Amino acid sequence: MKPVKIGILGLGTVGGGTVNVLQRNAAVIRGRAGRDIIITRACAKDLTRQRICDTQGIQLTTDPFEVVNDPDIDIILELMGGQSPAKELVLQAIANGKHVVTANKALIALHGNEIFKKASECGVTVAFEAAVAGGVPIIKAIREGLSGNQIEWLAGIINGTGNFILTEMRDKGRDFSDVLAEAQALGYAEADPTFDVEGIDAGHKLTILASIAFGIPLQFDKVYTEGITGITRDDVEYAEELGYRIKHLGIARKTAVGIELRVHPTLIPERRLIANVDGVKNAVLVYGDAVGPTLYYGAGAGAEPTASAVVADIVDVVRALTSDPENRVPHLAFQPNAIVEQPILSAEQFTTAYYLRLTAEDKPGVLAEVTKILAEHNISIEAIIQKEPQLGFTTLPVIMLTQKTLEKEMNAAIAEIEALSSITGKVSRIRLETLG
């Protein structure tokens, strides 16, 4: 069989890692795919830059359209990231009858519905395993391995940079900005690192996971996102005293009234395996009605872990090159006519437990006022700790864990608590999930 020819868009961290893995593991990859895979062309913004890979034998260009319009190329690897010109290039490649492998979560979360429709019309595959959780084969696991289940919920640490920052802050007491700079130097962070720390990147990934789990269209605009910048070292310590870890989770859950799609810092019991996933590692907990809870763990970012997923997609595409397009694994797990809109809940409709931290005056009756407000909103308290006032202060921190409640009730209760004259400043609130 003649070799399959690859064109690469982007020779940065992921592109460079992919070249290295394809070259180093060529023999084993050929054994699995059944054909030789050769990189014939690649595009990079700056051809003079030093790279992590050897580009000898690869025709280089700065014009990505030269690569997607090359009639000899069978598969395009879109590893440049961002929305434009990635979207135009992918659509052009599809129109040219080429299969596409991408690591671009923003592209799939925001434009996937249009891209998959076009790919189906043109009979080509767009594969995107590397878009979620780096090297962890979570797309394949949900789309294929769990296809006999109704997925009830999933919860994941799906941003390696954010998890690296939270871990270093907790374990080594390092500063947020210092750890973020290290994550950027290691190639973990997005081009705009606010995407990592504000939950946008995790929101993109959650959009994709929810779609393949529940058979709904991709809809990033309906994901609630909250970042990690408001987490203080005090919160981390108080949570640990109560037996919890704070993790930045993406959660998708099917309820009787609709689907919750949310990304936010979350307290989780420290005995859960996922609470002990540290550094740049990602983990996704998926609950299927038949299988129960399953956990997928591994490196969520970095050159070769992401390349591992890209190359797995290339092998899948090569194996499917001769199969009838109608009988390939569907892009979003469900056949296109089985993808249906379902209501996505607003944040006020979420049901979750909470960690609350408030600053109260050190005088009798204050806690009674706070607990009365919570009771009026039907919110039960699970645990409460009151710390000593710091020397010279007349206020003290009070930390509470509540049972599950509707977010709307919690918002109203917090507004009333903040209005009390005996409470200073804002109430800090972090959602809590037992993930049982």
DSSP secondary structure of 363-396: STTHHHHHHHHHHHTT--EEEEEEPPPPTT-SEE
The answer to whether 205 is a known catalytic residue is yes
The reply to whether 160 sits near ligand HSE by the rule CB under 6 A is yes
Of 115, 154, 179, 189, the one binding ligand HSE by CB under 6 A: 189
| CA 411 to mean position of chain CA atoms | 26
User: CA nearest 410: which of 332, 351, 333?
Assistant: 351
Beta-carbon-side half-sphere exposure of residue 374 (alpha carbons within 13 Å): 20
Residue 296: φ, ψ to 5°: -120, 130
Nearest approach, Cβ of residue 193 and ligand HSE (Å):
8
- The residue at minimum Cβ distance from ligand HSE is 161
Of 188, 224, 350, 354, the one binding ligand HSE by CB under 6 A: 188
The reply to whether 301 sits near ligand HSE by the rule CB under 6 A is yes
| SS3 label, residue 22 | helix
The reply to whether 196 sits near ligand HSE by the rule CB under 6 A is yes
Exactly one of 205, 247, 254, 281 is catalytic; which is it? Answer: 205
Nearest approach, Cβ of residue 268 and ligand HSE (Å):
19
The reply to whether 134 sits near ligand HSE by the rule CB under 6 A is yes
Nearest approach, Cβ of residue 181 and ligand HSE (Å):
14
The reply to whether 298 sits near ligand HSE by the rule CB under 6 A is no
| Cβ-Cβ contacts under 8 Å for 247 (sequence gap 6 or more) | 157, 163, 166, 265, 266, 268, 274, 275, 277
| Beta carbon nearer to ligand HSE, 189 or 210 | 189
User: CA nearest 152: which of 37, 245, 291, 35?
Assistant: 291
129 within 8 A of 282, measured Cβ to Cβ = no
Of 74, 78, 168, 190, the one binding ligand HSE by CB under 6 A: 190
Using CB under 6 A, which of the segments 189-197, 234-242, 328-336, 338-346 binds ligand HSE?
189-197
87 within 8 A of 107, measured Cβ to Cβ = yes
Residue 29: φ, ψ to 5°: -70, -40
Of 7, 250, 300, 397, the one binding ligand HSE by CB under 6 A: 300
Nearest approach, Cβ of residue 326 and ligand HSE (Å):
31
Of 18, 120, 125, 161, the one binding ligand HSE by CB under 6 A: 161
The reply to whether 159 sits near ligand HSE by the rule CB under 6 A is yes
CA distance 145 to 165: 32
Catalytic residue positions, numbered:
205
Footprint on this chain of ligand HSE (rule: CB under 6 A): 134, 159-161, 188-190, 196, 201, 300-301
